[in-house]
Amino acid sequence: MAFRIIVLAKQVPDTRNIKEDAMKSDGTVNRAALPAIYNPEDLNALEQALQIKEKIKDSEVIIVTMGPARAADIIRESMYRNADKGYLITDRRFAGADTLATSYVISKAVEKIGDYDLIISGRQAIDGDTAQVGPQTAEKLNIPQITYAEEILSVEKGKITVKRRLERGVEVVESTLPALVTVHGSAAPCRPKNARLLMKYKHAKTPSELQTIDDDYTNQSVRNKPYLNIEELSLDDLSCEECKIGLAGSPTKVKKIDNVILQAKDSRVLKDSEVEIKNLITELITNHTLG
């Protein structure tokens, strides 16, 4: 049986390394100023997809990502791990989208790809931590959602069984397919890049990337190999209503952004010495903070 898995993955700014020029004056993020990484929980999601691919004959893993041109890296990174192909949703007119407008565009892209059995994504992305795009995409596609998956226990045509990781326990649920599953960070880590696949796919390019390559030889050899073509989807390729995309299609607006300024307290500074710590403990006991 043919089994098609779509993985939704996002390239995110590495929020652990933020510098001052990271924000634009309109309150949106200047992604160009930050190092970009594969969103960690999306890697967990990819691993679940790849494991299913290994179990089900004639199955394929398709990556869908949305972002600027450089987000094509996410698709190559996925191919190096055994994903089959990818679509980059990219268009300036999609910029400034909140989760509602983003999930709308993603659902349109998924509908265009079509014939899917399962959609898998990370639970949330580290740049926003909202965990909203997965459930919102499921709603737009009118399919069930299974959030916080720790392990996909079994999959067959039309049915999936998933172990969910909740705040205080686990739950095993069964759902009809197609469905959308979001994967929790406690799931199996993603496999490393495979050297053979890296050699095979390192020249995989989007049409826009190909245009910027002057080297005719590379250009021709990529064009001649269909598996090296990463597809791009723009607004013109998707049947989106313009009023539902980008900043205009986003019901949430950023009213203001405040930089975090520390209001320093008058803190006492102690050294790691027997006397100072002894006195501190005495004080805490005397004022009934301790004991």
Partner 1 sequence: MNNICVYCEIEDGKVADVSLELISKSVKLAKELGCSVEAAVLGGNLKGIEDQITPSGADIIYKAEDKKLEPYTTIPHAAVFEHIIREHNPQIVLVGATSVGRDLAPRIASSLKCGLTADCTDLVIGDYTDQKTGKEYKNLLYQIRPAFGGNIIATIVNPETRPQMATVREGVMKKEPAEKSHKSETVKIDASKILNSIGTAVKIIERHIEPRKINLGGAQIIVAGGFGVGSKEGFVLLHELAKVVGGEVGASRAAVDAGFAEHARQVGQTGVTVRPKLYIACGISGAIQHRAGMDGSAQIISINTDPEAPINSIADVAITGDLLSVIPKMIKHYKEQSK
3-class secondary-structure state, position 160 = strand
According to CB under 8 A, which residues from 216 to 275 bind partner 1?
Answer: 250-260, 262-265, 267-272, 274
Is residue 25 at the binding interface for partner 1, with CB under 8 A as the rule?
Answer: no
Instruction: Give first-to-last CA distance, the chain, whole Å.
Output: 67
Is residue 166 at the binding interface for partner 1, with CB under 8 A as the rule?
Answer: yes
Stretch that binds partner 1, among 45-53, 89-97, 234-242, 280-288 (CB under 8 A): 280-288
**11 touches 66 (CB < 8 A):** no
Cα-based angle 160, 165, 167 (whole degrees, multiple of 5): 145
Which two structure tokens, joined as six digits, stand for 110? 């998924």
Which two structure tokens, joined as six digits, stand for 126? 């580290």
Cis upstream peptide for 144 (omega within 30°): no
To the nearest whole angstrom, how small is the minimum distance from the Cβ of residue 94 to partner 1?
17
For partner 1 (CB under 8 A), the number of binding residues is 79
Is residue 188 at the binding interface for partner 1, with CB under 8 A as the rule?
Answer: no
Dihedral angle over CA of 85, 91, 95, 98, nearest 10: -50
Is residue 15 at the binding interface for partner 1, with CB under 8 A as the rule?
Answer: yes
**What residues form DSSP beta bridges with 205?**
229
Say which residue the tokens 């403990």 belong to: 281
To the nearest whole angstrom, how small is the minimum distance from the Cβ of residue 182 to partner 1?
9
d(Cα 238, Cα 23) in Å, to the nearest integer? Answer: 29
According to CB under 8 A, which residues from 86 to 115 bind partner 1?
Answer: 98-100, 103
Contact with partner 1 (CB under 8 A) among 24, 68, 144, 237: 144
Is residue 213 at the binding interface for partner 1, with CB under 8 A as the rule?
Answer: no
Give the helix/strand (H/E) hosting 154. strand 145-156
d(Cα 44, Cα 124) in Å, to the nearest integer? Answer: 11
Other CB atoms within a 10 A radius of the CB of residue 264 amount to 6
Nearest to 143 by CA among 113, 118, 162: 118
To the nearest whole angstrom, how small is the minimum distance from the Cβ of residue 219 to partner 1?
38
Is residue 145 at the binding interface for partner 1, with CB under 8 A as the rule?
Answer: yes
Contact with partner 1 (CB under 8 A) among 36, 147, 183, 187: 147
By C-beta, is 1 or 277 nearer to partner 1? 277
According to CB under 8 A, which residues from 30 to 89 bind partner 1?
Answer: none
Stretch that binds partner 1, among 42-50, 190-198, 224-232, 279-287 (CB under 8 A): 279-287
Is residue 290 at the binding interface for partner 1, with CB under 8 A as the rule?
Answer: yes
Residue 28: which residues within 8 A CB-CB, separation 6 or more?
95, 96, 254
Is residue 167 at the binding interface for partner 1, with CB under 8 A as the rule?
Answer: yes
To the nearest whole angstrom, how small is the minimum distance from the Cβ of residue 90 to partner 1?
22
According to CB under 8 A, which residues from 113 to 132 bind partner 1?
Answer: 126-132
To the nearest whole angstrom, how small is the minimum distance from the Cβ of residue 36 to partner 1?
14
To the nearest whole angstrom, how small is the minimum distance from the Cβ of residue 106 to partner 1?
11
DSSP 193: P
By C-beta, is 24 or 203 nearer to partner 1? 24
